[in-house]
Chains A and B, each alone.
Chain A
Amino acid sequence: MVVGGLSSMAYGNPRTTKDADLVLAVDGTGLNRLAEKLGDEFHLDSQGSFEMVTGTSRYHLRVPSLRFEIELFLLSDDAHDLERFKRRRAFPSRQLGMRTMIPTAEDVIVMKLRWFSIAKRGKDGDDIRNVIAVLGEDALDWDYIHRWTAEHGTRALLDEIRASIPHTDCPPSQAQAGAEWLLCERSASSCAAPPRLSITSKACR
């Protein structure tokens, strides 16, 4: 399953990334077998490292002629890691010329929030914001996201990020002119969602 920056891009904005992060449901022996199958062009580092957020093991797979890196994460027994893997979806891409698996958008958000809260990496916050903005609030299963953010203690962070997203779905006829051009009429149901920018929440009152 492709995770990390590439999976955020599948749902959000393109951004530069220096590696491909993959989660594999194999053990160390399986990893070695995979490396053998890939052939001489790939080099699997035998030294692993423990990732501190979910406690999963990571190994590097390198193609010496390339700077782009491949990180292999072994599926851990972390509850969300397991559920994310179970809910993975097929991602056939003509663009990339392959069929792979990616997490659902909700799981990208939940995992990125964990990383953002612990590692404070700006790119994780941006990825969360972009996935929500590009897909639109209505496309996401908020009950599922809220269940995990309550578990991980990241709900306040999520609400803060949601509040920072400008309202992007106004039909041009509803956008108001002048400095407050982002304002638009919002339906009662969308106003029930947490306020985003203060100028848009004003339009709901």
Chain B
Amino acid sequence: MEDQQIQHLADAIYVEKVRRARTMTPGERMEAGIELFEASLGIMRDGIRMQHPEADDLAVEEILKQRLARLRKIQEHGLYRKGPLLDE
């Protein structure tokens, strides 16, 4: 496929995505975002079970938690520094 054809295809997909989003209410779009996250967690759990068939549900959750924490660290690298402690 030539570059121009790929660009047209990408534009067509994008236009369709925008049209679909316009049919939803703002609240529906926000809720869909949270559901998408839940769905992606399900796939991450499946991936962990595949890599660690011996892990029970508790262990899978622990690995998932570690992976999310690692991802967060990478994404936030350089954007935050240690701040003040709240008074207990």
Least Cβ distance of B34 to chain A in Å?
7
Residue A130 lies at the interface, judged by CB distance under 8 Å to chain B: yes
Least Cβ distance of A114 to chain B in Å?
12
Q: How many residues of A contact B (CB 8 A)?
A: 48
Residue on B with the closest CB to A95? Answer: B27
B26-A11 in contact (CB<8A): yes
Which of A80-126 touch B at CB < 8 Å?
A: 91, 93-96, 118-119, 121
B26-A48 in contact (CB<8A): no
A17-B34, A179-B5 known; A130 vs B15 contact (CB < 8 Å): no
B11-A16 in contact (CB<8A): no
Partner of A16, one of B8, B36, B65, B79: B36
A130-B79 in contact (CB<8A): no
Residue A3 lies at the interface, judged by CB distance under 8 Å to chain B: no
Least Cβ distance of A196 to chain B in Å?
10
A93-B30 in contact (CB<8A): yes
A95-B30, A179-B4 known; A15 vs B83 contact (CB < 8 Å): no
Least Cβ distance of A153 to chain B in Å?
18
Least Cβ distance of B11 to chain A in Å?
4
Partner of A13, one of B5, B29, B86: B29
A166-B14 in contact (CB<8A): yes
Residue on B with the closest CB to A10? Answer: B26
Residue on A with the closest CB to B87? Answer: A28
A93-B27 in contact (CB<8A): yes
Residue B3 lies at the interface, judged by CB distance under 8 Å to chain A: no
B26-A9 in contact (CB<8A): yes
A9-B26, A166-B14 known; A46 vs B88 contact (CB < 8 Å): yes
22 sample A-B contacts, Cβ–Cβ < 8 Å, listed by A number: A9-B26, A10-B26, A10-B27, A14-B28, A14-B30, A14-B36, A15-B36, A17-B36, A18-B68, A32-B88, A46-B86, A47-B85, A50-B81, A57-B83, A68-B38, A91-B26, A93-B25, A93-B26, A119-B79, A179-B4, A180-B8, A197-B11
Task: A9-B30, A181-B8 are known; give 14 further A-B pairs, CB within 8 A.
Answer: A9-B33, A10-B26, A10-B27, A14-B28, A14-B32, A18-B72, A48-B84, A51-B80, A52-B79, A52-B80, A57-B83, A68-B34, A180-B8, A182-B12
Q: What residues of chain B have their CB less than 8 Å away from a CB belonging to chain A? A: 4-5, 8, 11-12, 14-15, 17-19, 21-22, 24-34, 36-41, 64-65, 68, 72, 75, 78-88
